[in-house]
Structure 1
């Protein structure tokens, strides 16, 4: 089985720190084999700055599983990066993007089992002319399907959530929240929870956009005119979906026991609860792509870069989940379900 491909992330951020820390904890935390795509020199410099005794091995992807116990495997990709910890420079954006592109290309070619991405800085990328709203949309572009709908899911053992609209201003959410978007989001989520997470009949709940899910239209019509019809359509298609439900009562323990994923109208509506419940364990998973992609659920944390205080816990969780999903996918491919004629 190929190793996982981990992109370096912004070279000025904590991506190099947590990659080194995850490798250092490979035995204690049973971290699955991975290789880093990007500038190996950045990792070597950061290891020295952090006082870590980590050997970096430049190699081909096929050599990574055998090397992983002895050295941190790196598949060189992209231009050299000169950025210092916490201080991004002109090399940061091209180095970040090249590392992601290499990880995706190797995974799509079967040379890696899945893509795991370290944090990037959208502000740094925007200054360099990056035309995408965020990481998720860039990955959809790399998938090569302009009609693909990337769905961002934040997953943990305690809670899984999906924002139907992702990186858009709050003022634009009501106009972006359409029945078609909710139906497609629900279908993709249900399909991948079954195909990649092994949940036979996923239970989806939809948060209302307005307080109290609109109080039957007295506090905004979106929940009655958009969310409720979308849920009804999903149910007609055989998907276990409920809603709209008030978001303020969906995230306590008893409520969470009644569903597998909560789909929110906008980003912070569902990301705030999961980050409160599982900040160090939550994993960002992109659904709707032809390859597996996970990521730590945090940003570049420039203020922590090079200090030794960045926790690798979310990255380790992302690596473990990527390996789990890749194993499920490989098992399904090896033993396809026969359809009776």
Structure 2
């Protein structure tokens, strides 16, 4: 990663302020002009109070250097389990399945729709077949409500980037004690869903949430689980950079990481992101994230299962559902595709 002192002023780009969805940190990302390369990150405060902390701004080296000035400046926000009941959401789609490809309609809770509206979700057309008589007319659906149910589950509470003492732990964030408890708390709810397949992100916080939410996950034949990087989190900070499949397989030997690329997270050859080397040099553009969201949506539709659990991340799910609100830790949202 390039140091700020080594980057000429004419190469510097206006700072972009972002909020980390995992540890609640408000970060100012400094870029090299014309590139998506990060050369420095400034800690502004937290999204809890949305106010800068007293004193000088703390410098946070993205490659995992000393954060001692920022340790006392950052306050960890423990998100509590919402405990809300699972709500069903409807995504209306056409028979040609192209409506959502162009633009996803606003998602509305199913219980808020009048019964009359639900009845008219399926429009019908009369087609005359060969032969005479009223019995030769058939009805074909022009629009339909699919029965593929997808339960989105956000991972549990994670450690703060700033509070961690070990620099390597700031990459691929892990769950806190609270996060593990949140995952265990939703185990009865997950069992009641009876998923035909569980799709989990390769980021460690999602894999740990899987282990807590499905206690029998280590028992052979109990669950059909697939690890897929398609719905990994938007790479915005060190905590979103994953680790190679060999390392993950050593920590989660009961899961299969076959087919997972060596570098499955967003990384540029010129500006690589590497958790093992503690390098964070590029942020995933929103255009790339939205492409992944589109591919993942089609991936869900193409699957043979009708009940799917997806364990993943808030920013990705926010884009997938076109929602203005992020899921809380271990909160569940159900959509129909």
Question: Same fold, TM exceeding 0.5?
Answer: no
Larger Rg: 2
Give the TM-score taking structure 1 as reference length: 0.29
Give the number of the structure whose residues are more often helix, by fraction.
1
Give the TM-score taking structure 2 as reference length: 0.29
Give the number of the structure whose residues are more often strand, by fraction.
2
